[in-house]
Amino acid sequence: MDTGGRIAKLRDERGWTQEQTSAMLGISRAALSHYEKNRREPDTETLLKFADLFQVSVDYLVGRTKLPHQILDDHIRDFVDQLELSDDEILEKFSLTIDGLKLTPEEARRFIAFVRAERMMK
């Protein structure tokens, strides 16, 4: 199913009209109609509005996953936004990979050192 089809399906599941939905999103009914019929692609900001309104992920809206409710809750989002890679506990707890191969703790430390050195050169 394409983006427009998913948007229309989510709206229909809630029993909302295009007029109601467009008002909640702050867009025109005509714009919503164009999105649902795939005549226009929503920009990033509008995709985020759809995702928030329908409580689904942007990945679901654009067809990258079939799981609509696989979204980060606020606690996980805050954690990810503030993740400090140089914390040894983080390096031990999570798998960091490059090209599908797990970094050893030493490789991760060298990577962090490289980024720090590059930043100092700027």
pLDDT in tens, 16-73: 999 999 999 999 999 999 999 999 999 999 999 999 999 898 888 998 877 776 655 6
Q: Of 113, 1, 111, 106, which is closest to residue 63 (Cα–Cα)?
A: 1
User: What residues pair up with 114 in beta bridges, in sequence order?
Assistant: none
pTM: 0.58
Count CB neighbours of 93 within 10 A.
8
Question: Using one digit for the tens of pLDDT, what is the confidence trace for 69-121?
Answer: 665 566 766 666 666 777 777 777 777 788 888 888 888 888 888 888 988 88
- Domains of the chain (ranges; CATH) run 3-61 (1.10.260.40), 84-121 (no CATH)
Cβ pair 50, 61 in contact under 8 A: yes
Rounded to 10 deg, the angle between the 44-54 and 18-25 helix axes is: 110
